[in-house]
Structure 1
């Protein structure tokens, strides 16, 4: 910094305020540009470790996830958080623990030793979590997870509205006999999507039929099995809301094996909008999109806003309309 000041013919204090971006009203734009040019020519980089000694924290946001980095779709959460961090002149430090508790504890301790600005405590799928005690020594925000003890802000998809709007898309097409193939019944994603499905049917004046709601585990196989059961009903559904795109792919396969067409015979709506699966759907699947990038962005912003209360932030899941929904057969 002393060398930059000498080259630009200014004081070291001016170099400091210019390179920190806080020179408005204290140095002219001409002077600021002279400082930047000198810093560039000399290859000057701020010493972030020295800065952290003064401020007590680094310009780093930590992200600890169970299987987030290895998931085929939730990596968009990392990108959303990273983009927001970079926009705010911070860097994202990511550790994927693979669900290993010992590695998680070590990752949190390492991040604290680096004096991170805060930690994003992240889950691969929307569920309730208990934040490690050590992590609470800094600012923590749950991402794609809810803090079961309500000690930190949480950013999660709005599962209820997503399930509602998925079912609404089928109702608007004229369907009244709508089935649902759900995912693991106890996690917030399954509970919320089912609630949204039931709310849409209730608003439409349709009675619940327990036979039309099938359990599943979010896999391709559960879609195949559930569709076979639904088609065996005395009054089969004319439309199916699948709890995941993988389940929808299984439903496509089962319907094709029966010689049924989508949407001519049965309409299908999925949930997730997984880009790795899109090309496998013919016709293209109408589905609800999990807004991972937006969730990552919001969570990183909350880490940097220490005044934000420990509330749950719901991110809207939009319906992506494609070609798997049509009117009931014969209409």
Structure 2
């Protein structure tokens, strides 16, 4: 007869025979370390048998029996995108702290693939889902996601039903502008997005509120729509620099546009931050840390949003929700070298 060690298919019954106990005792000992019907001596014998035989519990069977799998699913559009990686890291680190694990599925922004990804994760009996977007917006998740607790990360439910974790765009825009005000600037340009996405609205509102709080007047000619790319940022910065009275500082609504603004400023023979200060937004490190001078920017808290998503999902799966169903996460300033002292 072939031994279970030879086939690698060690069962609970094999463990029971090896430990000279009932299969029920093995089940109790492994599923509930404090089960009153299993003595400490018997439990120790069972654990030694598990180690001797290399037994690994069947996760699917255990999930069915306990209605817990210790797995969360995470669906995101592009797993390899820089921001998605940080969301994944935050979620995985926080889940691991709670001895849970995250299964990751990429949807590539395709609706059919997204639904299939959710379906596959549910087949693995995940206890809950994180749905993460690469940019902040309203989303419509597949209907089947409602079968388990689901938390949206860096996006919010268009139907207003599912809880979400989103960045504080307004506070981030205000913080960027306040940094320039603190450096003595009063004529501050804003290069913003053309579209009315939450980032555009929130960051502009933060800019406006900071100027008002400082007693300044809002000047529409200092606000230029610039798309979202470095090329857009360059064109917008040229328009600002061509004004009869150009700004002494520019707040760019993302780091890519700040990169374009750098080129426009340097083409005029101006220096950063000597002649003009620049602040970005996103903290896209492949850009902000390697521009010369390095870019002072406001960070989108992707890693923290991933972690907070797991926290909220844990509350939902345990039935112990204690906070609001939309969590707004602060966007901190990352100080570098593009604002004059």
TM-score, structure 1 normalization: 0.90
Tell me how far apart the structure 1 counterparts of residues 305 and 274 of structure 2 sit (CA, whole Å): 36
Shift of 1:7: 5.5
Equivalent of 1:48 in 59, 62, 68: 59
Deviates more, 1:295-304 or 1:307-316: 307-316
Equivalent of 1:82 in 92, 102, 115: 92
1:252 aligns with 2:266: no
Q: Point out the structure with max Rg over C-alpha.
A: 2
Equivalent of 1:234 in 224, 236, 244: 244
- Report which structure shows greater RCO (CA 8 Å, sep ≥6): 1
Tell me how far apart the structure 2 counterparts of residues 150 and 22 of structure 1 sit (CA, whole Å): 42
8 A contact 2:288–2:297 mirrored in 1: no
Tell me how far apart the structure 2 counterparts of residues 169 and 32 of structure 1 sit (CA, whole Å): 61
1:159 aligns with 2:169: yes
Shift of 1:301: 2.0
Cross-structure match for 1:276: 286
What are the within-5 Å matches in structure 2 for residues 1-331 of structure 1? 1-4=12-15, 16=27, 19-20=30-31, 22-23=33-34, 36-67=47-78, 69-306=79-316, 307=319, 308=321, 311-326=325-340
8 A contact 2:83–2:134 mirrored in 1: no
Q: Deviations over 1:231-276 (max 9, x none)?
A: 0111100011111111111111111111110000000111111122
Tell me how far apart the structure 2 counterparts of residues 158 and 26 of structure 1 sit (CA, whole Å): 52
Number of residue pairs matched by the alignment: 326
Q: Sort the Cα spacing of 1:57 and 1:263 in 2 relative to 1 into closer, same or farther, 3 A.
A: same
Q: Deviations over 1:39-92 (max 9, x none)?
A: 33321212111112223453321111222x131233110111122222223322
Q: Structure 2: any 5+ residue segments left out of the alignment? A: 1-11
Q: Deviations over 1:154-181 (max 9, x none)?
A: 0011111111111110011111001111
TM-score, structure 2 normalization: 0.87
Q: Deviations over 1:269-295 (max 9, x none)?
A: 111111222443111111111111111
Q: Structure 1: any 5+ residue segments left out of the alignment? A: none
Deviates more, 1:274-283 or 1:199-208: 274-283
Q: Sort the Cα spacing of 1:106 and 1:325 in 2 relative to 1 into closer, same or farther, 3 A.
A: same
